Amino acid sequence: MNERRRAAPRHESRLVGQRTAHGGERGTPALTLFDLDHTLLSGDSDVLWCNFLMDQGVLDRAIFAPRNADMEARYQAGTVGVQEFADFYVGTLAGRTAQQWEPLRQAFLAAHIVPRIGVAARRLVRQHLDAGDLVVLTTATNRFITELTAQHLGIVHLMATDVEVVDGIFTGHTRGTLNMREGKVVRLHEWLTMRGAKLPQFTSTAYSDSANDLPLLLAVDRAVAVNADPRLREAAAQRGWKNINLE
């Protein structure tokens, strides 16, 4: 990976001068990016949400179960279209307000998300937070579903696929750049720019399980494969990336 000259960002002064436990240079702030599904979470938030709604009778199992399985398989294979993937899962929210969804969202978090975040994953997140890193949860799953997960983990900064709301009602459509594959890198740069910073000003680390996140992993200083899928395991071996298991 090409070496980059780094300077302390003007608007991240609270991080400047800290030396992290993760290899950051003295005076260089650390930026740590965590993927969610199959990385910190044992499972896929979108797939679990779909299954949950079928169990609740909100979605017709005969229609959605085969589509859900197909979408998951093609995502893992890296063959599903980004917009197609996002539209399918964001579409499950259509026709209701956030307030109407809230009881189900809270129940989903408690029953299907919290129990699937293991001790090792929690410890790793806490290690980076305690070191003073700027920690970001970055996921292809939509913001409405994942913002409670970020809060549960104590992660303030969330990058996720944004959903369209008109007159308070979810339309079932996405909004803006989808936070998936190359979109994760685009969104990261946009977010940093809004903070008055640039990626080379940080010692950056990204954790992910999926080859879908190769654009992000290639963009940072230190890539770590977590519970890696076969395609990412191969890429990690070729590039000498660390491969860890949090399950």
Catalytic machinery residues: 35, 37
Strands 169-175 and 203-208, bridge-based pairing: unpaired
Strands (DSSP E) contained in 100-193 are 134-142, 157-166, 169-175
Give the Cβ contact number of residue 89 at 10 Å: 24
Q: Tell me the helices (H) and strands (E) count for the chain, helix number first.
A: 9, 7
Q: Are 33 and 207 in contact (CB under 8 A)?
A: yes
Give the Cβ contact number of residue 17 at 10 Å: 12
Structure tokens at 107: 């129940």
Helix (H) or strand (E) holding 176: none
Residue in this structure with the two tokens 């989808």, named with its chain if needed: 178
Bridge partners of 117, per DSSP, are 41
Residues near 92 by beta carbon (within 8 Å), at least 6 away in sequence: 49, 50, 53, 58, 59, 172
HSE at residue 135, side-chain half, CA atoms within 13 A, is 22
- Residue 165 in 3-state DSSP? strand
